[in-house]
Chains A and B, each alone.
Chain A
Amino acid sequence: MRDVKGYFWDTNILSHFRREEALLRQHIDRVSWNKIFLPSVVVAESWRGRLRRVDSVPKAKPEEAIFPHRQLLETHDLLSPFRVIPFDEEAAEELSQLQKKVKRRKKRHADMMIAAMTLSNNFVLVTRNERDFADLLLTQHLENWIDNPPVVG
């Protein structure tokens, strides 16, 4: 029986978390909440998206700023219960190894960074995009909590 130290959530899982999907809740109830983490890459993506929306509001139309600013706060509230782990020196070393190892092709940079963080922290990555990580992580390091029910026992 493997002892998983921590689970990193990919951004697509946040999307399902926001909908409070039943299967995802079963997984969350099965593992303790303090084992669930967000890689800082995922947090950065969320903030980047929200800030872009805030910045895109025309200054001449202040009333259009209300909604993006409200969502900025909701995003803060959505992310704040999570423990966030930063991309650090070990992750950078893992990323460097991954870049050398994976067959020459174009890869999504964020996927590479998240995979490197998963490896450096000895975690399991929870994602619905398993295919994108298939050449970065072994199947033992990937779980899909959206389509697959928790394994009992």
Chain B
Amino acid sequence: MEQRQMQEFSFSDIRVHPNIIADILEKGEDIAFTLKRKGDRVTVYSHQADRDEEVGHKTLEDVMERTISLFRHFEENADNIVSEVKPGRASGLLEVMNRLAKQIDAIMYETDLLAVANIMHDLTVEIPRFPPDDEPPEHFRPEDLMSAPDAEDYRRRVERHKAALKEVFRPCFERIEQAWWNKPSIIPETASKGSKEPDWDLIRRIKDDPSWDEFFEEIERERDRDLIWTEGGAA
């Protein structure tokens, strides 16, 4: 990596606490810094200079930006996404959204933010017709991020991203849920016809027959005996 000295300065000239710089330098010998400005906000990132060809290209802000755009994509394309997923996946998507709601509420650390980003990443792999120009990255790992040595701001930074995620997540979830309910449901042709209404006269004839209670109880007992193992994660 080509390096260019731009300016010499001493610790006393900068407003980042020297301990933070020291902590970062302890992580490796070749540390590169990147300054990123958004309005008045300037954040200093560091990454190991000899690793930046493989990792360290993304900041947490980049990851969150992508995640938020994914939520927006899901919101805007909810009907298509829900109607086109394979059988078994639409309900799974709704369940993932249900789980994400709890997960976003519980965010406390950067790693929690990355976990949400990774779930959304997984969904982009599962969902058909995802924008072809979007190249899904590998899972985001904390060690692959350019770090921000703005340690005193850590909590505020996480809270800011959490709030941003919550803001886009809620309408996304609602649209996915609505799309699930709107999903066309065609009664299979193989369904039996039935009648226009129940035969209440017949029902009154068997209403007081106690053997029916016993009959239904026996069905429940039969169900209790016919068990299968599920294959999911350990209970």
A133 to chain B, nearest CB (A): 12
- Scoring B residues 162 to 193 as 1 if CB is less than 8 Å from chain A, else 0, what string do you get? 00000000000000011011110101101111
A81 lies within 8 A of B219 (CB): no
Contact with B along A30-42 (1 / 0, CB 8 A): 0001100100000
Bound together, the chains give a CA A2 to CA B181 distance in angstroms of 6
Complex contact A81–B194 (CB within 8 A)? yes
A-B contact count (CB 8 A): 171
Task: Map CB proximity to A onto B190-229 as digits: 1 under 8 Å, 0 otherwise.
Answer: 1111111111101111110001110110111011101111
The stretch among B36-44, B50-58, B61-69, B92-100 that forms the contact with chain A is B92-100
Do B219 and A46 have beta carbons less than 8 Å apart? yes
B interface residue count range (under 10 / 10 to 19 / 20 to 34 / 35 or more): 35 or more
Please report which residues of chain A, range 10-59, place their CB below 8 angstroms from some CB of chain B when the two chains form the complex. 11-12, 14-15, 17-20, 28, 33-34, 37, 45-46, 48-50, 53
Which of B24-32, B82-90, B104-112 contacts the other chain?
B82-90
Which residues of B have CB within 8 Å of A61? none
B226–A78 touching, CB < 8 Å: no
Contact of B219 among A4, A11, A71, A96 (CB under 8 A): A11
Q: Looking at the complex, which one of B182, B190, B202 makes contact with A86 (CB distance below 8 Å)?
A: B190
B231 sits at the interface (CB 8 A)? yes
Bound Cα distance from A48 to B198, whole angstroms: 22
Q: Provide the bound-state CA to CA distance between A7 and B89, in Å.
A: 20
Q: Which of B89, B216, B226 contacts A11 (CB 8 A)?
A: B216
Given contacts A33-B198, A88-B188, contact A102 B232 (CB under 8 A): yes
Residues of A within 8 A of B (CB-CB), count: 65
Q: Which residue of A lies closest to B208 (CB)?
A: A19
Rounded to whole angstroms, the CA-CA distance of A84 and B90 in the bound complex is 23
Residues A64-100 near B (CB distance < 8 A): 67, 71, 74, 77-78, 80-86, 88-90, 93-94, 96-100
Residues of B near any A CB (own CB < 8 A)? 86-92, 94-95, 98, 177-178, 180-183, 185, 187-188, 190-200, 202-207, 211-213, 215-216, 218-220, 222-224, 226-235
| A residues neighboring B (CB under 8 Å) | 2-6, 11-12, 14-15, 17-20, 28, 33-34, 37, 45-46, 48-50, 53, 67, 71, 74, 77-78, 80-86, 88-90, 93-94, 96-112, 119-123, 138, 140-141
The 3 closest A-B pairs by CB, nearest first: A97-B88, A5-B185, A83-B194
